[in-house]
Amino acid sequence: MIGSLPAWRGERMLVWLAGRLDPACGYVDLMAHTLWAFLASRPSLAVSTAADGLAGRVESLLEADAVSTRSRRELSEVRYLLRALTPAKGSG
C-alpha cells in the first residue's frame, strides 16, 4: 500500500552523503556527484538541520584538491546553493 507510506524528505540520505565527503573515501567523486544531484532535486534540504556542517565539509574537500574537475564543479554548485539559501551568520 504505497498510499499509506509517509512522505520521504531525505534528511537521513543527506547526512549519509555528507559523511562520505572525505578525501580518503575511494568513492569521493561518486559521493560528490550524488550529493550534487540529490540537492539539485531537493534544494529545500539545503536549509534543513541535516545540512548543518555540510558547507564546511564541501569547502574542506575543495581545498584538499582530492576530487576530479567535474566533482569540483559540482561541489562548487553545492557550495553556491548552500550560500544562496542559508542566511549569513551574524546578519540580521
Cell (9 digits) for 32: 560528490
Is 90 a member of any domain?
no
Is 34 a member of any domain?
yes
Cell (9 digits) for 63: 581545498
Cell (9 digits) for 47: 536549509
Is 91 a member of any domain?
no
Spatial distance between the Cα atoms of 19 and 77, rounded to a whole number of angstroms: 18
Cell (9 digits) for 5: 507510506
Give 38-77 pLDDT, tens digit per residue.
999 999 899 988 899 999 999 999 998 889 999 999 999 9
When divided into structural domains, the chain yields a total of 1
Spatial distance between the Cα atoms of 74 and 24, rounded to a whole number of angstroms: 19
Report pLDDT for 88. Answer: 58
Give 22-43 pLDDT, tens digit per residue.
988 889 999 999 999 999 999 9
Residue 73 phi/psi, 5-degree rounding, is -65, -45
Domain that holds residue 64: 11-85
- This prediction has a pTM of 0.83
Give 5-14 pLDDT, tens digit per residue.
566 789 999 9
